[in-house]
Amino acid sequence: MVLVVAAACSSNGGTIDAADIDALPEATASDIEALLADSERPVVMNVWASWCIPCRSEAPLLAQAHTSFGDDIRFVGIDVRDSQSNAREFLAEFDLDIFEHYFDSTGVIPGAFGGRGVPLTFFFRQGGELSYLHFGVIDERTLAVHLDELTR
């Protein structure tokens, strides 16, 4: 009962307005390959979509991970097979506009890196070498271990 009351009282929105978020730039697999090669930091690339319920579930964790590791690791989001308006609402709801996101309307980018389905979380070492690919929702312990691995 206490939990239900707490839930009813809890807000379900971020601190920013979706209208204040710019449209996500469209990207191709080669754009992301270039980004990985040029990045001066290791990269965590999360593949998400606003219609994906598990993605909603892991979104707060990614925001928390960025807060803890954002100085050492570059966080990149790839929004697949989505609409721009829904994507911006999703980012606003979870305050996920704190890191860069790209729009992949056809959903081909994950496949180019060996991924399939949504959500996916890729961990790339500096230079673009894939360290680990997590299929499905990622939990805090797994995320923390692989982030720690990238910083060493």
CB closer to another protein, 15 vs 40: 15
- Tokens 């996101």 map to which residue? 101
First to last CA, the chain: 45
CB closer to another protein, 82 vs 102: 82
- Choosing from 68, 72, 81, 100, the residue that interacts with another protein (CB under 8 A) is 68
Does 148 bind another protein (CB under 8 A)? Our answer is yes
Provide the mask over 107-146, with x wherever binding to another protein is found by CB under 8 A and - wherever it is not.
Answer: ------------------------xx--xxxxxxxxxxxx
CA atoms of 89 and 17, how far apart (whole Å):
8
- Choosing from 60, 111, 114, 127, the residue that interacts with another protein (CB under 8 A) is 60
Cα 120 from chain centroid?
A: 9
Does 12 bind another protein (CB under 8 A)? Our answer is yes
Does 61 bind another protein (CB under 8 A)? Our answer is yes
CA atoms of 18 and 97, how far apart (whole Å):
10
Q: What are phi and psi of 60, to 5 degrees?
A: -60, -35
Cα 5 from chain centroid?
A: 30
Provide the mask over 13-52, with x wherever binding to another protein is found by CB under 8 A and - wherever it is not.
Answer: ----------------------------------------
- Choosing from 8, 19, 20, 71, the residue that interacts with another protein (CB under 8 A) is 8
H or E segment to which residue 58 belongs: helix 53-69
CB closer to another protein, 12 vs 71: 12
Sign of torsion over alpha carbons 27, 28, 29, 35 = negative
